[in-house]
């Protein structure tokens, strides 16, 4: 696999995770080769670009990519976000973003439900409100305008929907389509009709349509009944941060970017950014990155290794003395990672 540690806490959580992933692969009888790429903010400051011109061809040579985070206070955000992570997602056409969210025994959250949360958000990853189409007009007049055009296409909805229905079938068989088709009458009514067609191909999956505002309430009040949430780009972005907080925070949220059935590497990354407020202090929670690595192991055909990582994380999190400050504890990244590594090596 290729590994892009990036900036801020990115390298901290990646270096905590790699030994865990390697050890889990070894326990599952395999070897995990990792090639590190020095892409990100430092490279941008040195060369004017966050990644080399042939970056996408380089990545195509790997089955999967593990990415930390980019972003640093002395570089404009869009240079690194568009110059690296969004650039890679678009160039590889990583159509679907998968964000599992689950409660962990030992981790207390704001959630009221005693039996917690266990769901997956499937987010369309290439268009919608993030299509990048629009512009600004009438600058410096009282009528100044900013126009952002949302694009929703049948092929993009179809590939996200098919992935989400297959996933629901492998879980508890329930899918909630999240839209705002009462008010946004063009794009989201297309979602409603395309998803109804895919639902007809999957009679064994129970499908409901939920407006995004109602879904925000459901997530907080009754998350347990939710299984797979299928969302467009914007709603998936927002709801997955909300869901992540219900499960313990940004330090706990993994993700995958993939092209279902496509011959391109999938990219796995913690949902969080470079966290400049805590970077360099050795207190970042490495769990989101490790769980992203576990998804990578599943993806490259080592599901037993993925399970070993998740079990080891669960074992360590049951002990509050191993929690990092974001979980209310005082352990360091290294202390938590060392216990998870020990659990991987002894299970």
The 3 state secondary structure assigned to the chain is CEEEEECCHHHHHHHHHHHHHHHHHHHCCCCCCCEECCCCHHHHHHHCCCCCCCHHHHHHCCCEEEEEECCCCCCCHHHHHHHHHHHHHHHCCCCEEEEEEECCCCCCCCCCCCCCCEEEEEEECCCEEEEEEEEEECCCCCCCEEEEEEECCHHHHHHHHHHHHHHHHHCCCEEEEEECCCCCCCHHHHHHHHHHHHHHHCCCCEEEEEEHHHHHHHHHHCHHHCCEEEECHHHHHHHHHHHHHHCCCHHHCEEEEECCCCCCCEEEEECCCCCCCCCCCCCCCCHHHHHHHHHHHHHCCCHHHHHHHHHHHHHHHCCHHHCCHHHCCCCCHHHHHHHHHHHHHHC
Each residue 191-210 as x (binds Mg ion by CB under 5 A) or -, in order, gives: --------------------
The answer to whether 9 contacts ligand NAI (rule: CB under 6 A) is: yes
Task: Name which of 97 and 181 has its Cβ closer to Mg ion.
Answer: 97
Say whether 188 is catalytic: no
Among Mg ion, ligand NAI, none, the one that 298 touches (CB under a kind-dependent 5 to 8 A) is: none
Cβ at position 241, least distance to Mg ion in Å: 5
**Which range in 3-11, 211-219, 229-237, 252-260 contacts Mg ion by CB under 5 A?**
229-237
Q: Which residues contact 275 (CB under 8 A, 6 or more apart)?
A: 8, 9, 69, 250, 284
Catalytic residue, from 180, 227, 298, 326: name it: 180
Q: How far apart are CA 272 and CA 328, in angstroms?
A: 18
Task: Name which of 204 and 277 has its Cβ closer to ligand NAI.
Answer: 277
Q: Where do we find the tokens 């329930």?
A: 174
Among ligand NAI, Mg ion, none, the one that 129 touches (CB under a kind-dependent 5 to 8 A) is: none
Each residue 155-194 as x (binds Mg ion by CB under 5 A) or -, in order, gives: ----------------------------------------
Among Mg ion, ligand NAI, none, the one that 232 touches (CB under a kind-dependent 5 to 8 A) is: none
Each residue 234-273 as x (binds ligand NAI by CB under 6 A) or -, in order, gives: ----------------xx-----------------x--xx
Cβ at position 249, least distance to ligand NAI in Å: 7
Say whether 130 is catalytic: yes
Catalytic residue, from 7, 227, 237, 326: name it: 237
Cβ at position 302, least distance to Mg ion in Å: 28
Task: Out of 33, 57, 77, 201, point to the residue binding ligand NAI (CB under 6 A).
Answer: 77
**Which range in 70-78, 116-124, 159-167, 258-266 contacts ligand NAI by CB under 6 A?**
70-78
Q: Contacts with ligand NAI: how many residues (CB under 6 A)? A: 22
Q: How far apart are CA 81 and CA 66, in angstroms?
A: 16
**Which range in 68-76, 106-114, 231-239, 290-298 contacts Mg ion by CB under 5 A?**
231-239
Q: How far apart are CA 312 and CA 54, in angstroms?
A: 37
The answer to whether 237 contacts Mg ion (rule: CB under 5 A) is: yes
Say whether 213 is catalytic: yes
Applying CB under 6 A, which residues contact ligand NAI?
A: 9, 13, 69-71, 77, 81, 85, 250-251, 269, 272-278, 284-285, 288, 326
Q: Which residues are tagged catalytic?
A: 130, 180, 213, 237, 241
Footprint of Mg ion on this chain (CB under 5 A)? 237
């Amino acid at each position: 696999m290729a590994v892009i540690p990036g900036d801020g806490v990115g390298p901290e959580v990646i270096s905590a995770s790699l030994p865990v992933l390697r050890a889990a692969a070894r326990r599952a009888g395999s070897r995990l080769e990792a090639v590190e790429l020095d892409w990100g903010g430092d490279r941008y400051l040195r060369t004017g670009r966050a990644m080399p011109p042939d970056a996408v061809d380089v990545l195509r040579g790997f089955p999967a990519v593990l990415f930390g985070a980019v972003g640093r206070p002395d570089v404009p955000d869009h240079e690194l976000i568009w110059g690296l992570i969004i650039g890679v997602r678009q160039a590889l056409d990583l159509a679907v973003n998968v964000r599992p969210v689950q409660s962990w025994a030992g981790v207390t959250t704001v959630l009221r439900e005693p039996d917690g949360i266990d769901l997956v958000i499937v987010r369309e990853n290439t268009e919608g409100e993030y299509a990048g189409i629009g512009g600004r007009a009438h600058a410096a007049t009282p009528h100044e305008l900013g126009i952002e055009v949302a694009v929703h296409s049948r092929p993009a909805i179809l590939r996200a929907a098919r992935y989400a229905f297959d996933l629901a079938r492998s879980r508890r068989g329930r899918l909630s389509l999240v839209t705002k088709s009462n008010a946004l009458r063009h794009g989201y009514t297309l979602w409603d009709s395309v998803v109804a067609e895919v639902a007809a191909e999957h009679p064994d999956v129970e499908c409901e349509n939920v407006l995004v505002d109602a879904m925000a309430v459901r997530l907080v009040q009754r998350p347990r009944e939710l299984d797979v949430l299928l969302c467009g780009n914007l709603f998936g972005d927002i709801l997955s941060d909300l869901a992540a907080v219900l499960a313990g925070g940004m330090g706990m949220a993994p993700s995958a970017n993939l092209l279902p059935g496509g011959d391109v590497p999938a990219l796995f990354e913690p949902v969080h950014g470079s966290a400049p407020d805590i970077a360099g202090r050795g207190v970042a929670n490495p769990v989101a990155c490790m769980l992203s690595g576990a998804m990578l192991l599943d993806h490259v055909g080592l599901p037993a290794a993925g399970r070993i990582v998740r079990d080891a994380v669960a074992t360590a999190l049951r002990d509050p003395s191993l929690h990092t400050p974001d979980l209310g504890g005082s352990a360091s990244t290294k202390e938590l990672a060392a216990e998870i590594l020990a659990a991987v090596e002894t299970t």
